[in-house]
Amino acid sequence: MTFRDFNLKPEIMKAIDIAGFKEPSPIQKAAIPPILQGKDIVGQAHTGTGKTAAFALPILNQLKLTGGVEGLVIVPTRELATQVSDEIYRLGRFLGIRTATVYGGSSYARQIAHLKSAAVAVATPGRLLDLLQSGKIELNPQFVVLDEADEMLDMGFLEDIQTIFQYLPTNRQTLLFSATMPDAIKELARKILHSPEFISITQKEVTNKNIKQFYYVVDEHERDEALMRLLDYKNPTKSIIFCRTKAEVDRLAQFLAAQGYNARGLHGDMVQRQREEVIKSFKYGHTEILIATDVAARGLDISDVTHVFNYHIPFDPESYVHRIGRTGRAGREGMAISLVTPHEFKQLLRIQKEVGSSLINREIPTSTELKGERQRELIEKILSQEVTTEAVELLNLLEAESDLSTIALKLTSLLVKEQNIEGNERIGKSLREIENLLERTKRELSREYQRRGTRRGFRRGREERGERRYRRR
């Protein structure tokens, strides 16, 4: 299937081609047709599966553009509101549509003015409800989307959302997307949707086949050195490094910047303006490495991230899927790399089992291997370099002082000196050590599962015996 099979408007297809989308993701294949047919849907899919385009493309295709807000998207955070608004504008720009972003901490007057000329509004629940209850705005959207519904539930917005829908027309098409389906979300869907079609993207479909997943086993004190060695060897053009805590983000961002890397941190304690500036800098390529917590990076929709690094592996499989979903987007290939210690190995195997994808073990490249890789890159760079007029003039001046062979050696020495490699020759565990650790951990997990099964069997037997005694009475 291709995007042309959806029979979208030529203006939308032009935007899709420019965005570099190759083929629809599973959620897009499943959701776009029923939305185009006018059905309400409940879509269960994680961040990073292409949800925004899944609802944006069919909505944009059906906009009448007669004036006023025709599409309303409600999201949990300001960062996600900005991301979704940008994506919708990017996909609908050749239709001449305008989008408005509505969230707290920004000027009421400016947001209200933007709403007057917008076809699509993206809003957080708190500010949207404030504007509606105060009578500052009236909305009559034909399409309403609840994105990351479970996240809004966790943040305490459920009551606000229910109140918001009292201000919206009943003859609307409503789309609800959520990574998980707790009872409260099911009940909300029952109240605000009309005969919805349910779509669920399985965990295996969530882990993008375009993402190659690797892990490296290191001791705790080797994390920083291992990370730098991998950054130098992989040479990513745009990467995200995930940390567990805000303090870790700050420390690692300062450390990498001090080592000469183009890196910046992102977490929830930063003021809104600073967070927006960091995201914008990363999105447009001014920052090469973004170091972030899971919460700060939730909803980031940047299609050209080449690598994701887990400085520490996350605590649960869902966070792992969310993290690696930042790369391998829009049909591109991506790479996910995790650093784990022997103590974290059990958690890694549990994640691999739950996610259902294969993580390949690798050795950290040695300094000799890194040197060889840099030499190959340098040779390729020199051979592909165009000769400029200034270079010819400089060479003529140098020839007056020395012969060509000596000049070439001196220039090459300058280039090699700039690529000086520091650190130990070897970092982390060898493949043999990793294999031994893998076998040992599998045996430990097997015994652990057996003990759990025995305990469950004992409890079940005890319950059955109690049930029989109860019946005899």
Write the DSSP assignment of 129-190 as a string of letters. Answer: HHHHHTTS-----SEEEE-SHHHHHHTT-HHHHHHHGGGS-SSSEEEEEESS--HHHHHHHH
153 and 276 both lie in a single domain: no
Q: Are 148 and 177 in contact (CB under 8 A)?
A: yes
91 and 240 both lie in a single domain: no
Sign of the dihedral defined by the CA atoms of residues 240, 246, 251, 257, in that order: positive
| Domain total of the chain | 2
Residue 76 placed within a domain: yes
305 and 190 both lie in a single domain: no
Residue 106 placed within a domain: yes
Residue type, 405: S
221 and 187 both lie in a single domain: no
SS3 label, residue 238: coil
* DSSP letter (8 states) at residue 20: T
90 and 223 both lie in a single domain: no
135 and 261 both lie in a single domain: no
Pairwise CA distance, residues 157 & 76, whole Å: 8
Stated pTM of the model: 0.58
Residue type, 302: I
Residue 137 placed within a domain: yes
Please state whether 64 falls in left (phi above 0), alpha (psi between -120 and 50) or beta: alpha
Residue 451 placed within a domain: no
225 and 105 both lie in a single domain: no
21 and 144 both lie in a single domain: yes
Which of 201, 230, 246 is where one domain is finished? 201
Q: Which domain holds residue 55?
A: 3-201
157 and 230 both lie in a single domain: no
Residue 453 placed within a domain: no
In a structure prediction context, what are the per-residue pLDDT tens digits for the chain, which is 473 residues long? Answer: 889 999 999 999 999 988 777 788 889 999 999 999 999 999 987 666 778 899 999 999 999 998 899 999 999 888 788 889 988 998 999 999 999 999 988 889 999 999 999 999 999 999 999 999 999 999 999 999 999 898 888 788 999 999 999 999 999 999 999 887 888 899 999 999 999 999 987 554 445 678 899 999 999 999 999 999 999 999 999 999 999 889 999 999 999 999 999 999 998 788 878 888 999 899 889 999 999 988 766 667 787 899 999 999 887 776 788 788 888 876 788 999 999 999 888 888 878 876 777 789 999 999 888 888 888 888 888 888 889 999 888 988 988 888 888 988 888 888 877 666 777 889 999 999 999 998 888 888 777 656 655 554 554 455 455 545 544 54
275 and 251 both lie in a single domain: yes
Residue 459 placed within a domain: no
Which of 201, 218, 247 is where one domain is finished? 201
CATH number of the domain that residue 146 is part of: 3.40.50.300
72 and 150 both lie in a single domain: yes
383 and 430 both lie in a single domain: yes
